[in-house]
């Protein structure tokens, strides 16, 4: 299984309040929580590719995954994201697909680019309100696409869509390319709130055991969207909770 004590990353969105400071500011937040890897969105300007990677490296942080813009069938934009991922030395990128009249062509283009750049694409399941949030829809997509298209399992959003995160690890073992460790609690109005992983709906020890059982070797990242102005205390607690289970 992936060594989570060495290879756990963090999703850059956790540090969105500090985005104006660029890669250096984000990298320093990553180091503050005791990690050295990050998942980011690719720069929109190819001229910034090498400089972005180098700025992170200069701060002791590696780009462990790319979260591509929503795929719509726009080949130049989607090829650009793949090129950035390969420049980073990646084998996986996290993706989402727009639901539009061209969705089947979008899947076909994604498969073509994934094969060309030797990448696996992990769909980010985004809860009960998202068209790719349910197990039924993920099953349909995977039955009609190549193994290049798989899952980046967001644990909290999976639970939100009644897809038990632990079960999902085993169910999609052959197409599980990424994991976002995330957890929610809900109020009486069913409004969610981010909490430290394992303190909400996620059975963290069972989650880690399921990853061991399938010898999971993909990408994994913390994601905590609460307290954007000061996310580090919660992120440190998330990291420590995972390390205790390893």
- The arithmetic mean of pLDDT across residues 72-98, rounded, is 97
Q: What does the pLDDT read at residue 61?
A: 98
Would you say the C-alpha torsion 72, 78, 79, 80 has a positive or negative sign?
Answer: positive
What is the rounded average pLDDT of the residues 172-185? 98
Q: Given this model, what pLDDT does residue 26 score?
A: 98
Other beta carbons within 10 Å of 54: 11
Predicted local distance difference test score (pLDDT) of residue 142: 97
The overall average pLDDT reported for the chain is 97
pLDDT at 122: 98
Of 197, 225, 200, 234, which Cα lies nearest the Cα of 4? 197
Confidence band, pLDDT 50/70/90 cuts, at residue 156: very high
The confidence score (pLDDT) of residue 190 equals 87
- Say if CB 140 and CB 105 are below 8 A apart: no
* 3-state SS, residue 151: strand
Please state the pTM of the whole predicted model.
0.96
Q: Identify how many contiguous H helices and E strands the chain contains and give both numbers.
A: 10, 10
Overall average pLDDT of the 166-193 stretch: 96
106-132 pLDDT tens trace: 999 999 999 999 999 999 999 999 999
| CA–CA dist 64, 62 (Å, integer) | 6
Q: pLDDT (tens digit, 9 = 90+) per residue, 69-83?
A: 999 999 999 999 999
Burial class (CB in 10 A: 0-12, 13-18, 19+), 225: middle
Per domain, the residue ranges of the chain are 4-245
Superfamily of domain 4-245: Divalent-metal-dependent TIM barrel enzymes (3.20.20.150)
pLDDT digits (tens, 9 = 90+) for 192-205: 999 999 999 999 99
Quick one: average pLDDT of 2-6?
A: 95
How would residue 224 be classed by pLDDT, with cut points 50, 70 and 90? very high
- Give the Cα separation of 244 and 242 in Å (integer): 5
Residues above pLDDT 70, as percent of the chain: 100
Q: What is the largest CA-CA distance in the chain?
A: 49
Residue 116's SS3 state is: helix
CB proximity list for 24: less than 8 A, separation 6 or greater? 55, 58, 59
List, for residues 30-63, the tens digit of each pLDDT value: 999 999 999 999 999 999 999 999 999 999 999 9
Q: Does the structure show a pLDDT above 90 at 172?
A: yes
């Amino acid at each position: 299984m992936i060594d989570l004590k060495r290879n756990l990353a963090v999703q850059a969105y956790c540090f969105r309040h500090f985005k104006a400071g660029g890669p250096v500011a984000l990298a320093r937040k990553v180091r503050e929580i005791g990690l050295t890897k990050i998942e980011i969105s690719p720069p929109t300007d190819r001229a910034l590719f090498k400089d972005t990677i180098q700025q992170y490296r200069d701060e002791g942080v590696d780009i462990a995954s790319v979260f591509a813009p929503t795929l719509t069938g726009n080949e130049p934009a989607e090829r650009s994201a793949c090129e950035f991922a390969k420049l980073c030395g990646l084998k996986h990128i996290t993706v989402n697909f727009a639901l539009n009249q061209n969705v089947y062509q979008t899947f076909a283009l994604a498969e073509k680019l994934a094969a060309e750049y030797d990448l696996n694409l992990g769909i980010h399941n985004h809860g009960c309100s998202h068209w790719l949030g349910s197990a039924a829809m993920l099953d349909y997509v995977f039955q009609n696409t190549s193994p290049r298209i798989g899952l980046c399992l967001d644990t909290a959003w999976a639970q939100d869509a009644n897809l038990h995160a632990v079960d999902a690890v085993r169910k999609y073992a052959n197409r599980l390319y990424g994991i976002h460790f995330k957890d929610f609690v809900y109020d009486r109005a069913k409004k969610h709130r981010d909490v430290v992983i394992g303190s909400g709906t996620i059975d963290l020890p069972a989650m880690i055991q399921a990853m061991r059982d399938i010898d999971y070797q993909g990408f994994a990242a913390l994601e905590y969207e609460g307290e954007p102005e000061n996310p580090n205390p919660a992120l440190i607690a998330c990291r420590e909770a995972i390390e205790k289970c390893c």
